């Protein structure tokens, strides 16, 4: 999400610099100065000065031929440190590596950031399709099992305010009705896990369970994902699916205990 710079506050320069960095993370690999100015709402001269300063600080880099700007590799150490020092990532890393190895499926951990979820880690299994999900990537809350777990801590009114109405469709199977989502969330609360089949991407399905901290609040969620032949309604056997549900719940409980949950 691009944050447009404002004229209020005592840290205007910092706010503007951050808005430029977020503009460069808006989906296109490289941008012109005018593109960044349009995305941030800043003037062209101000944008150019900020880009020059950020380039000098190794936060952005400019292609010498095209003069287009992109985020610099100088940001990677900061991103890696932020991820590795996050308490949920520290508690989940080894657990999810083991989960992916045992099941052969992909294993993710994510937290809620506003109206989206943000992945803190992704571990690939041998039976899962190639994943391009990386730490820092975001995804919709209502169209993923991991997101539905994260939404269980909110009331129906809070969910409607957060997500808007109607809910965005990503495939023909995406839940777009809040009433339907409310029913799904109640099922998650009752069973302790969430399921999703082809709501975000065709051919893929997932199971997820919430992670709690010492206060008992849901602070994250983990998921197993893979082909619908393994996790969806067309899975090979019900026994197989039940075993995977048990795996993901036990893994979530282990992470919760590491975070101090009883």
Domain boundaries, the chain: 12-74, 86-258
pLDDT in tens, 92-111: 999 999 999 999 999 999 99
12-74 in CATH: which number? 1.10.10.10
Per-residue b or e along 163-191, where b marks 16 or more CB atoms closer than 10 Å to that residue's CB: beeebeebeebbbeebeebeebbeebeee
Is the pLDDT score of 8 beyond 60? no
Query: In this structure, are residues 261 and 213 in contact, taking their beta carbons and an 8 Å threshold?
Result: yes
pLDDT tens for 11-37 read 788 999 999 999 998 778 899 999 999
* pTM of the full structure: 0.80
Q: Which residues neighbour 102 within 8 Å (Cβ) at sequence distance 6 or greater? A: 247
Tell me: pLDDT of 132 over 60: no
Contact, 148 vs 184, CB < 8 A?
A: yes
CATH homologous superfamily of 86-258: GAF domain (3.30.450.40)
Residue 262 has pLDDT above 80, yes or no: no
143: which DSSP letter?
T
Q: What is the mean pLDDT of the chain?
A: 88
DSSP characters for 192-257? S-EEEESSSSTTEEEEEEEEE-TTS-EEEEEEEEEEHHHHSTT-S-HHHHHHHHHHHHHHHHHHHH
Query: pLDDT value at position 3?
Result: 53
């Amino acid at each position: 999400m691009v944050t447009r710079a404002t004229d209020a506050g005592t840290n205007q320069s910092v706010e503007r610099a951050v808005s430029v960095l977020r503009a460069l993370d808006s989906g296109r690999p490289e941008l012109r100065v005018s593109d960044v100015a349009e995305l941030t709402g800043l003037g062209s001269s101000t944008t150019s000065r900020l880009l020059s300063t950020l380039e000098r600080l190794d936060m952005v880099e400019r292609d010498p031929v095209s003069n287009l700007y992109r985020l610099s590799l100088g940001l990677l150490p900061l991103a890696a440190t932020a991820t590795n020092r996050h308490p949920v990532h520290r508690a989940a890393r080894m657990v999810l590596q083991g989960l992916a190895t045992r099941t052969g499926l992909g294993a993710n951990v994510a937290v809620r950031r506003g109206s989206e979820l943000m992945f803190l880690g992704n571990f690939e299994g041998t039976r899962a399709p190639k994943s391009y999900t990386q730490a820092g990537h975001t995804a919709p809350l209502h169209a993923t099992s991991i997101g539905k777990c994260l939404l269980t801590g909110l009331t129906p009114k809070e969910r409607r305010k957060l997500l808007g109405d109607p809910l965005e469709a990503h495939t023909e199977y995406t839940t777009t009705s809040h009433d339907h989502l409310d029913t799904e969330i109640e099922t998650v609360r009752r069973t302790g896990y969430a399921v999703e089949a082809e709501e975000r991407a065709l051919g893929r399905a997932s199971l997820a369970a919430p992670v709690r901290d010492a206060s008992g609040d849901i602070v994250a969620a983990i998921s197993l994902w893979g082909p619908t032949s393994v996790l969806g309604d067309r899975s090979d056997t019900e026994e197989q699916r039940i075993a995977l549900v048990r795996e993901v719940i036990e893994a979530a409980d282990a992470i919760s205990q590491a975070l101090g949950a009883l």
